[in-house]
Amino acid sequence: MAQIVGRKQELKELVRLQNSDESEMVVVYGRRRVGKTFLINRAFADTGFTFKVTGLYHQKMKMQLDTFSLALKDYFRMTDNIKFNTWLEAFDALKQSLIKSNDTEKKVLFFDELPWFDTKGSNFLAALEWFWNGWASARGDIMMIVCGSATNWIINKFFKHKGGLYNRAGSKIFLKPFTLNETEEYLIKQGFELERYDIAQIYMIMGGIPYYLKQLDPRITLSANIDECFFKKNGKLWDEFENLFETLFSSSDMYIKIVQTLAGKQIGLTREEIISAAKLSDNGKISRALSDLEKCGFIRAYNYYGRKTKSKTYQLADFYTLFYFRFIKDNYGNDDHFWAHILDTPKKNNWAGYSFEQLIKTHIEQVKRALGIGFTLSELSSWYAQQTKDGSRGAQIDLVIDRRDRAINICEAKFYSSIFTIDKEYALNLRNKVDAFREATATKKTLVPTMITTFGIKQNTYSNFIQQQVTIDDLF
């Protein structure tokens, strides 16, 4: 098997399923461009597929059936083209071809972009259920891999739908973006020699999305790369946003409204606040959309520390989507060197601070290991309190790590180009935050002021207040 960056657990699971003595169905899903097809193709590069077919985006049933027919012809060496009128006929032809096959090994069937086959009125899903439940699942020698970028279709048809395929998948592989460490490994393989500060900036723009990272050119500067990808007219990724949401979600307009609303609210919004701000109707579709966006990693749901109500607060967590609404949406095509021109502006620095906070939350396990609490049970939350008329202090803490050992890390994040110096004013602000938290929550636990920075903090009179530190190297 060819070496690929990361994906060790996913590859291990695919091998396990291929070697089992039962028929297996595996669903591989995740956001567009995350590398689902690449992973599966590499996993079976040595053994190959018994049958592979890929759905066509926004094509009618006839074209989808013709695609299926051509794949049958290629994989089973048929001399004649077979025309199908229904999906039941198509799956029966696949069944008969597999029966005639002399292959005694596990037969691996790969249905890529499967949701795109399910055109209106096609009865595709019913035919697939008939094929799997009525024949393939009982044989013991079939491995069916279902893959698709239309994530809400996958979730609703395979994980929530109470029909014939409900809970039939023996394994569900949600393919996540690369971590910072995997992103560094990937960029090195692509010929880059970058400091981790720059790799973090790339991650804060693109996330760990392999396809986006592949567009970067090691021969030019980082800022030139960002301009080439996002701001130059007809650049490499100029139309990515529209394609991203249209392929992931049906009724994509509602999903876009939600993420656009959250893009302007750094502290996040509750479901009710999203409905009000985005001017959406309050119905079950909103809850489903929030669930889909959370499962795909576009938004993050969390609780405020000490809040008595159970309502979740949602934050935009997808790096590219945040970058799109902050910069690309209103600036694409206006200035081919837009990113190079705003490098030291308040708008860029404000984005960097928020995006760095999301980077930390995405790598929270690395943060906990650096703090020495990797195996300590803990709950993550944020905390916010407005100043009241009676004089109660207002403050905002973006990351609260509430530990089972009766300690709470009060985390302050700072994305800075060098070692960060805490001066008198900043130290006073930090003390006020901790004091406000203790006063408002009445906690009896030990509060541990913690700084998470790029290069650490300079030791001086005011830095002694900080009890623990995490640097960008720890996130790798």
In this prediction, residue 119 carries a pLDDT of: 94
* String of DSSP letters for 192-230: ----HHHHHHHHHHH-S-HHHHHT--TTS-HHHHHIIII
* String of DSSP letters for 379-410: EEEEEEEPPPTT-PPPEEEEEEEEETTSEEEE
Strands 107-112 and 171-174: unpaired
In this prediction, residue 143 carries a pLDDT of: 96
Return the residue matching tokens 């790969």: 110
**Amino acid letter, 87:** W
In this prediction, residue 155 carries a pLDDT of: 78
Domains and CATH numbers, the chain: 8-174 (3.40.50.300), 180-238+332-356 (no CATH), 242-322 (1.10.10.10), 365-475 (3.40.1350.10)
CA distance 368 to 391: 35
In this prediction, residue 167 carries a pLDDT of: 59
Helices (H), 195-324: 196-206, 210-214, 222-226, 240-248, 252-263, 271-278, 284-295, 319-323
In this prediction, residue 438 carries a pLDDT of: 92
In this structure, what DSSP letter does residue 465 have? G
CA distance 39 to 467: 42
In 3D space, the residue among 433, 426, 413, 451 whose CA is nearest the CA of residue 305 turns out to be 433
pLDDT under 50 in the chain at which residues? Answer: none
**Amino acid letter, 387:** Q
**Residue 9 is encoded by which pair of tokens?**
């657990």
This prediction has a pTM of 0.91
**Amino acid letter, 139:** R
